[in-house]
Amino acid sequence: MKDHRIEGTRRQLSQKQRRHPRPALLERMQPDAAGIDCGATSHFVAVPRDRDPMAVREFRTFTADLQRLAEWLVQCRIKTVALESTGVYWLAVYEILEARGLEVVLVNARDVHNVRGRKSDVSDCEWLQNCTAWGCCAPASVPPARSWRCAVTCATVNA
């Protein structure tokens, strides 16, 4: 039998190919994205794995904890943050992150939770982070801050 191996099969790139490399099929649209799963007592936050050895963290909902959350995101060089629009739990986080200069994207929870197999807060925030990084999250509309601050104040007073 003959040996059909081809010697030197390593292909050399032409000068044109070296000057104009072909783009990847999929590129991350937001490589500096984080995802936050908002809850009543805590928020789970995911950043890209290359930004921190502990890429998913849990933060309580007290103001001091939310300030620490924002500081951690800034330290991780995050520029865009996706939040689930779950009840009113996203409001305080949204305001604090926006004040820090981060781009905050509110995502409709119904759209994000339409995927089978994701059942934990950790996997939810990782999913949000990945969807945002790849540009798959459609942002929900956010009313002007004055409107929702008024609504929250009215709801608190009437409760």
Segments making up each domain of the chain, as ranges? 27-158
pLDDT for position 104: 92
**Distance of alpha carbon 32 from alpha carbon 153, whole angstroms:** 34
pLDDT confidence band for 26 (50 / 70 / 90): low
In this prediction, residues 58-63 reach a mean pLDDT of: 94
Which CATH class, in words, describes the domain spanning 27-158? alpha beta
In the beta sheet, which residues pair with residue 56?
A: 46
Q: Tell me the three-class secondary structure of the chain, residue by residue.
A: CCCCCCCCCCCCCCHHHHHCCCCCCCCCCCCCEEEEEECCCEEEEECCCCCCCCCEEEEECCHHHHHHHHHHHHHCCCCEEEEECCCCCHHHHHHHHHHCCCEEEEECHHHHCCCCCCCCHHHHHHHHHHHHHCCCCCECCCCCHHHHHHHHHHHHHHC
The answer to whether residue 147 scores a pLDDT higher than 70 is no
| Encoded tokens for 10 | 């390593």
67-124 residue pLDDT tens: 999 999 999 999 999 988 778 888 899 999 999 999 999 887 766 665 566 577 787 8
6-19 residue pLDDT tens: 344 344 445 555 55
In this prediction, residues 20-32 reach a mean pLDDT of: 61
pLDDT confidence band for 154 (50 / 70 / 90): low
Average pLDDT, the chain: 76
